[in-house]
Structure 1
Amino acid sequence: MFYNNAVCDIYIGKSAGAKLLQDIRNAKRNIKIVSPYLSPSLIKELIFLHNKGIKISLITSDEIEDFYGYDKNINKLIVQKRHTDEKAKQSRDSLISLSGTLLFAIIGLAVILVPVIFLLKEWKFAYGFILVIILFFVRDFIVRQIKSKRIYHYTYKQLFPFKVFISPNNGNSFNKTFIHSKIYVVDDEIAYMGSLNFTAKGIKDNHETRIRTADPNAVAGIVEEVNKIFFNSNLAERDLQFWGSQLYPEPIN
């Protein structure tokens, strides 16, 4: 898009995000953010606002800052839901019960055979240990069946609407467009643009440029452009279900 003669404030320097954060925290209805990089502390700000009822829309990339650190970003926004296969669970419970019965039988039979053989000198009963060994291997097979029985499967949903576009830098996308824009819209009334990523360094430490405008026509055009990226970009996205499976452990039972 191109818009001319917009009324705006210009800021250049450090702490370029101070006013931005103030406006975001004072949002009454909705926030739209486009930033290829994110910091966990700022994701927490969005989650806090989401829990207050503010509608959040986020556009980012799969080169998210700190994604592989200890405090991750996207798994705060992807909610794992575990589903139980009741028939498989019943089958597993039956196997567990059978395993317990076999263990009791193995121990009980051994307890009987040992005194009979060594105290009564009835050596022929030693053949009974063949049955003990057979029961042991049968139980071992059942235990392995129990461990491999899949009881749970998982699905994932977004905490609030967001898009994670695949970066061409990762070499796994036919798309050559990298969403490098930094755009922030608060209540569809205030818009920010510039070099400012939604990161702790970008907000506080880096020397950044940003403009702020409340010009109604300019903001309307910016909102339209953000919506176009969100809903009609035709860019390759990260699959939510696959990514969730990479972020979270998925024990089968």
Structure 2
Amino acid sequence: MGTFYNNAVCDIYIGKSAGKKLMEEIRSAKRNVKIISPYLSPFLIKELIFLHSKGIGISLITTDGIEDFYGNYDRNIDKLIIQNKHIDEEAKASRDNLIALSRTLLLTILGLSVVVLSLVFLLKEWRLFYGFVLVILLFLIRDFTVKKIKNKRIYNYTYRQLFPFKVFVSPDKKSFNRTFIHSKIYIIDNEIVYLGSLNFTGNGVKENHETRIRTTDHNAVGKIVEEVDHLFFNSNLDERNIQFWGRQLYPEPIN
């Protein structure tokens, strides 16, 4: 990974609100937006989700230091991970049979209890109370059946991304990575590129004193797009596993 390009024509801005024009052009994207930012803010993720809903192609590269609780306590990456629930039909049929058996056992227990009690009081034969031995046995069988129902897994879960994104593991997370993705790059429609210091956070685009370079230089944009695509598809850097992460974010009832 690495790109060098000389003599690019560009605009330079240094100061606060460095993200104002950037956000205007992201919101006006016609085809796609590609972003590299090690940190994110929830309300800016919502901007990307809105663009995605309009059919704009989004790709995002960030790190596992993504959370920036700017202005609220929302988490952000959660909204980009979708849980899919799958039913094991064979397991469901088995569970339904167990539920039917449990109901039958319950009715049998109630009916047998009524019969035994009625006979005891009508016949004044106290030895008939031994009939409750069978009631207790049926109760234990039903209790075992209910436990099997509770432990029967009929749902399995997988996770997918709302739109393509990569979350690379930081070097201090016991990863084999030795590269921290610290670049801030924004590409709109593969025609406009922003580079600089501003993260895709509220502070980055509004409050901080930042450096922002904007270029529409065709050759420079082409080189940068090539580098970003390489990082996205062929970096071989350690990244967060979407299936593992989804299991941390969502409950997974088994039945």
Is TM more than 0.5 here?
yes
How many Å separate the matches in 2 of 1:219 and 1:107? Answer: 78
| Cα distance in 1 for residues equivalent to 2:118 and 2:202 | 74
Q: How far off is 1:110 after superposition?
A: 1.3
Aligned-pair CA distance for 1:100: 0.4
Alignment correspondent of 2:74: 71
Structure 2 residue identity aligned to 1:51? S
Within a 5 Å distance, the mapping from 1:138-217 to structure 2 comes to 138-171=141-174, 173-217=175-219
What's 1:109 paired with?
A: 112
Determine the structure 1 residue equivalent to 2:227: 225
Q: Which amino acid aligns with 2:160?
A: K
Tell me, in whole angstroms, the C-alpha distance in 1 between the residues paired with 2:111 and 2:17: 75
How far off its partner does 1:199 sit? Answer: 0.9
Shift of 1:221: 1.2
Residue 24 of structure 1 deviates from its aligned partner by 0.2
Deviations 1:135-162 (A, max 9, x none): 1110000000000001010111111111
Deviations 1:105-133, CA, capped at 9 Å, x for gaps: 11111122223223532201100111111
**Distance of 2:68 and 2:213 partners within structure 1:** 26
C-alpha contact (below 8 Å) 2:195/2:213 kept by paired residues: yes
| SS in structure 2 of the partner of residue 250 of structure 1 | coil
Q: Distance in 2 between matches of 1:66 and 1:98?
A: 52
TM-score normalised by length of structure 1:
0.95
Alignment correspondent of 1:9: 11
Q: One-letter code of the match for 2:34?
A: K
Query: Which of 98, 103, 106 is matched with 2:101 structurally?
Result: 98
Aligned-residue sequence identity (percent) comes to 71
Q: Which amino acid aligns with 2:149?
A: I
Q: Which one of 26, 29, 32 corresponds to residue 28 of structure 2?
A: 26
The count of residues paired between Structure 1 and Structure 2 equals 251
TM-score (norm 2): 0.95
* 1:121-132 mapped onto 2 (5 Å cutoff): 121-132=124-135
Distance 1:227 1:17 in 2: 23
- Structure 1 runs of 4+ aligned residues shifted over 6 Å read none
Q: State the distance in 1 between where 2:165 and 2:225 align.
A: 15
Separation of aligned partners in 1, 2:15 and 2:216: 21
SS of 1:169's partner is coil
Distance 2:248 2:78 in 1: 10
Q: Say whether the 8 Å CA contact 2:5–2:220 is kept in structure 1.
A: yes
Alignment of 1:29-40 (within 5 A): 29-40=31-42
2:73 & 2:20 partners in 1: Cα distance? 26
Whole-angstrom CA distance in 2 between matches of 1:207 and 1:115: 87
SS across alignment from 1:170: coil
| In structure 2, C-alpha distance between the alignment counterparts of 1:207 and 1:116, rounded to whole Å | 90
Which amino acid in the other structure matches residue 106 of structure 1? I
- Secondary structure of 2:172's aligned partner: helix
Return the alpha-carbon distance in structure 2 between the equivalents of residues 200 and 142 of structure 1.
Answer: 55
User: RMSD in angstroms over aligned alpha carbons?
Assistant: 1.4
Contact 2:194 2:213 in 1 (8 A): yes
The unaligned stretches of length 5 or more in structure 1 are: none
